[in-house]
Amino acid sequence: MAEKQNVIGRFAPSPTGTLHLGSLYTALASYLDVRSKQGQWLLRIDDIDCSRNVDGASSAILYALDALGLHWDADVVYQSQHHEYYEAAFMQLSNNNMVYRCTCSRKNIDALIYPGSCREKVVLDVMSYAWRLKTDQRIISFYDEGQGLIHHALDTQHGDFIIKRKDRLFAYQLAVVVDDYLQGVTHVMRGCDLIDSTPKQIYLQSLLNLAQPCYHHLPILVDSFGAKLSKQTRAPVVDLTNPEWVLFRLLGLLSQNPPAVLAKASVSEILQWAISNWQPHVLIGLQAIKLNKC
């Protein structure tokens, strides 16, 4: 018998509002994937950017997941409590001479990719600056379980990227790499809109000597104009008074073909069916799923 793989997945929403159908789509897929592998499913609240956090959003997220029967293992982790770990990773990069101060603002960077203008510049403490990570000419290649083989040239497709912002907050790229490591995450399943961040994260993992998890980027739900469902595009609020219907609809959107009788089943029966019949390969290669009506 094959050795049991110790799978750890996670869902990591930012508490910028209540979960819309698009976030629940990712949550459900990652939950089903992990549970079908008898793994652990962890919840992390990505609340590092306090200026974007919305009061009450974290508890609304926990409430929504609970209502849908998506129960997580272990305590919820909050990025806002991990500052010291990000600092330690940052110091490691700094000690290896991999970071530098950058005073540029978005307005004065003409190119799409930051050209490294501040690499050799002397930037004094009193100035306002971000910290960038030095990149080189390597090609980052990875096999994405949803999107296939991906190759990115680090210098021409990414350039030196920010790991600590001018407001002293650690950037998403650094935080997510440190947290996935701290939580022992082996499987990252998330929306395709984040796939361009993955080479940056893999690069950071290699510099920090951290194991690289498996990546699986799912299609994202888009409205009839092709825009990602989000607060900005006024994604409708999900009606949690009928969680069975929400799950049934999500399973349809995940192309899992739930049998019609399942629409009348309980939350736990629906999840049981979905775990036993989970077919992630039907989504391979898809980047967007259009919602006909919201």
Q: Which residues bind ligand GLU (CB under 6 A)?
A: 12-14, 46, 176, 190, 194
| Burial profile 6-20: b = 16 or more Cβ within 10 angstroms, e = fewer | ebbbbbbbbbebbbb
Q: Which helix (H) or strand (E) segment is 276 a member of?
A: helix 267-276
Interaction mask 60-99, Zn ion, x per CB under 5 A? ----------------------------------------
Given ligand GLU, Zn ion, none, residue 102, with its beta carbon under 5 to 8 Å by kind, binds: Zn ion
CB of 104 to ligand GLU, least distance (A): 25
Say if strands 40-45 and 77-78 run parallel, antiparallel, or are unpaired: parallel
Residues 21 and 235 sit within 8 Å (Cβ to Cβ): yes
By CB under 5 A, the residues from 93 to 122 that bind Zn ion are 102, 104, 117-118
Given Zn ion, ligand GLU, none, residue 171, with its beta carbon under 5 to 8 Å by kind, binds: none
| Burial profile 117-144: b = 16 or more Cβ within 10 angstroms, e = fewer | ebeeeeeeeeeebbbbbbbeeeebebeb
The reply on whether position 165 binds Zn ion by CB under 5 A is: no
CB of 244 to ligand GLU, least distance (A): 26
Beta-sheet strand order (sheet of 148-153): 77-78, 40-45, 8-11, 187-191, 214-218, 139-144, 148-153
CB of 83 to ligand GLU, least distance (A): 17
Given Zn ion, ligand GLU, none, residue 12, with its beta carbon under 5 to 8 Å by kind, binds: ligand GLU
- Would you say 110 or 136 has its CB closer to Zn ion? 110
CB of 29 to ligand GLU, least distance (A): 12
Residues 5 and 45 sit within 8 Å (Cβ to Cβ): no
**Interacting residues toward Zn ion by CB under 5 A:** 102, 104, 117-118
